[in-house]
Structure 1
Amino acid sequence: MAKDPVCGMNVDEKKAAATSEYNGKIYYFCSKHCKMEFDSDPKKYVK
């Protein structure tokens, strides 16, 4: 399981609603909304 960096929800990588790549790492999202939030400002969500 991966953690959605926007909302913190656990996401099954095989069933993720969306993914994004940032700095060579793939992030998994529970919804398209969380992906859009992440894509607008990835630095805000990546520690």
Structure 2
Amino acid sequence: MKKLILMLFTIVLFSCNKKEETHSVEHSTSLIDTKNPLNKLKYDNKIDFYCKMDITKYGVSDTTHYKGKLYGFCAKMCKDEFLKNPEMYLAKK
């Protein structure tokens, strides 16, 4: 029984000392899904107006046309928020 407890203690001790590998988003060259056709379009914005995400790096999942320009967004929610008051977001641009 003592040997079992000693073995479990040793396993726990060494497993807690493992250094976790951390992966940084910054090291990746591109996170854009090349199969998504929306990522191949040219947009009049590089940053999502609502959440401030860089769509040139992370890609686009929704779009809208406003006053003859095409804008890309990371999510439908961001597009919907933009459309509630687009002039406010464009003024901050």
TM over 0.5: yes
Runs of 4+ in 1 over 3 A off after TM superposition: none
User: Quick check: which one's helix share is greater?
Assistant: 2
In structure 2, list runs of 5 or more residues that go unmatched: 1-44
User: Quick check: which one's strand share is greater?
Assistant: 1
Percent same amino acid among aligned pairs? 38
The structure number with the bigger radius of gyration is 2
- TM-score (normalizing by structure 1): 0.76
Greater relative contact order, per chain length (Cα 8 Å cut-off, separation 6+)? 1
1:32-47 counterparts in 2 under 5 A?
Answer: 32-47=76-91
In structure 1, list runs of 5 or more residues that go unmatched: none
- TM-score (normalizing by structure 2): 0.43
Aligned positions, number: 45
